[in-house]
Amino acid sequence: MGWTGMSPPAHGDKKRWLLEEFNQAGEVGTNPSWTLSDLSIKGNTAYGIYTMVRVDGSWHSMGIVILMSFRADEWAYKDMTEDMMPYYYDAPISLIHKLEKLCPAIEGNARQWRDYCIAQATKIKVKLETGTTIKFKHELNFRLFKADTFEVYKDGRKTFFYAPNGVKCRITKWQDKEYEVIA
């Protein structure tokens, strides 16, 4: 599974761009139509409900995760439906609840993905203040050095970490890693 890339649209709107790419009107009697709805964008990851309406009028809805990449000369995306078990679980809980109402009888990867999303959304998030020292259960590898203990530094909404050697680090999805507060 690869990425689909293209020249950036003139309007420059991420949400509009995704809707233009994914919504497809079908031909009556021959091709199904596809509709992307309930789109939620978190960083460069979008979550939504993708619905296919078949030629006979029956329909099927599924959760979809769309990864996005933006460069000056190219916008690209990679889409994965819930049955592919995408390893991205930040879908809004309201989207998961709506999927449960639309299509409750699912199993396998789709069921597991929805359950992980619900667990992620209901997880208690700890707020750390500047100066707090935390120790991760597993050592993190930054190629030039490895460390498991960091001092937290808050800059507005961004969280940075200072390693014991004084290097300022960004640790993606640090809340999802196991850690303990030392001081």
Give per-residue pLDDT as tens, 8-64.
999 999 999 999 999 998 776 788 899 999 999 998 999 999 999 888 888 899 999
Distance CA(150)–CA(134), nearest Å, equals 6
In which element (H, E) is residue 102 found? helix 93-102
pLDDT score recorded for residue 93: 94
pLDDT one-digit tens code per residue, 167-178 = 999 998 888 888
Angle of helix 109-122 versus helix 93-102 axis, rounded to 10? 150
Supply the pTM of this predicted model: 0.75
